């Protein structure tokens, strides 16, 4: 009789642990949202002839750091960005940027909201697959690029390269940064 009572208690305990484990896995899967996570990276360029030095260009979700010592003026031929790809992250919904314009002798910067629904729609049209379905080829990585322009303006682009060295670009939007008081010693 004692063995049977102990056996029932053990079964009840194991059943409870199983139920808790199943509930925890369902909650984790719901919160993780694997079908909304993609492989992407970010970077910054300057429009042709616009000489700038970028102090910060952070797309939300990507914790890379650009080279703050690099001077940009060569448009799409010179991207200051992260060489390593991000894996299993949501698309960026905002951008924080700060740069110095040598021609104007001014700092510009600000925090900007990106149109996330447009980004998702365009990414699907460009053939992007969620990270869980990706084979991690370089043509499956989406590049978000901030193009710094004169007078504090900038544009944000999405770019995808394919295996034939062709690239597909889409302009997400144009923005106006504000002149800020800053030095290279503060971030």
**Residue 93 vs residues 6, 98, 110: alpha-carbon distances, Å:** 55, 17, 14
Closest residue by Cα to residue 37 from 89, 87, 84, 86: 89
Please give the helix or strand (H or E) that residue 117 lies within, else none.
helix 116-125
pTM score of the predicted model: 0.75
Output the tens digit of pLDDT for each of the chain's 187 residues.
Answer: 667 767 788 889 999 999 999 999 888 777 766 667 777 888 899 988 889 999 888 888 666 678 888 888 877 777 887 766 676 678 888 999 999 999 999 999 999 999 989 998 888 888 776 665 555 555 567 888 999 999 999 999 998 866 555 678 889 999 999 999 887 764 4
Nearest in space to 142 (alpha carbons), one of 165, 119, 164, 173: 119
Nearest CA to 38 among 156, 123, 158? 123
Q: Which of 103, 123, 95 is nearest to 39 (CA)?
A: 123
């Amino acid at each position: 009789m004692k063995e049977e009572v102990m056996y029932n208690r053990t079964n009840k305990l194991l059943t409870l642990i199983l139920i808790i484990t199943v509930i925890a896995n369902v909650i984790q899967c719901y919160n993780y949202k694997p079908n909304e996570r993609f492989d992407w990276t970010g970077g910054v360029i300057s429009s042709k002839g616009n000489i700038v030095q970028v102090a910060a260009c952070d797309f939300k979700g990507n914790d890379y750091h650009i080279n703050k010592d690099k001077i940009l003026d060569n448009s799409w031929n010179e991207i200051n960005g992260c060489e390593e790809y991000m894996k299993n992250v949501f698309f960026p919904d905002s951008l924080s940027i700060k740069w110095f314009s040598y021609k104007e002798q001014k700092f510009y910067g600000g925090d900007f909201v990106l149109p996330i629904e447009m980004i998702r729609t365009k990414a699907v049209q460009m053939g992007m697959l969620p990270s869980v379905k990706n084979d991690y080829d370089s043509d499956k990585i989406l590049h978000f690029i901030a193009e710094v322009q004169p007078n504090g303006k900038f544009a944000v682009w999405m770019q995808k390269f394919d295996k034939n060295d062709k690239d597909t670009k889409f302009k997400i939007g144009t923005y106006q940064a504000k002149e800020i008081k800053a030095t290279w010693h503060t971030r």
